[in-house]
Amino acid sequence: MDYDEFRRHIGKAGLQMKEFATLIHMTPTALSSYRKKSEVPTHLAIIAVLLGELADNQIDYRPSLAKISLSPKKPRGISLQKVAAANQA
């Protein structure tokens, strides 16, 4: 799925990109990096489509998502380097 289509589905779900990033425990910067690649990973595309469809059918997904406990992803790559640098300061 291309980035513009991804954003359209997120919008259908009534979310801004920052809200979607928070919902799935990602940084907004990580999501916006897909704009340059133009392709969004399949798992994010599936989530966006499902949230958009739920919204189209007036089904509130928030209570269901509140039932699960999500942990933030562990930093890696550049993010890991930033965390290490912050810990040294």
* Ranges of each domain in the chain: 3-88
Is residue 34's pLDDT more than 80?
Answer: yes
Tokens of 43: 């798992």
No. of H helices and E strands in the chain? 6, 0
Look up residue 37 and give its two tokens: 């690649």
Distance from C-alpha of 61 to C-alpha of 77, rounded to nearest angstrom = 32
Confidence bin at 72 (pLDDT 50/70/90): low
Q: What percent of the chain has pLDDT over 70?
A: 81
Mean pLDDT of the chain: 85
Calculate mean pLDDT across residues 45-53.
96
Alpha-carbon torsion angle 86, 70, 25, 23, nearest 10: -150
Q: What are phi and psi of 58, to 5 degrees?
A: 55, 40
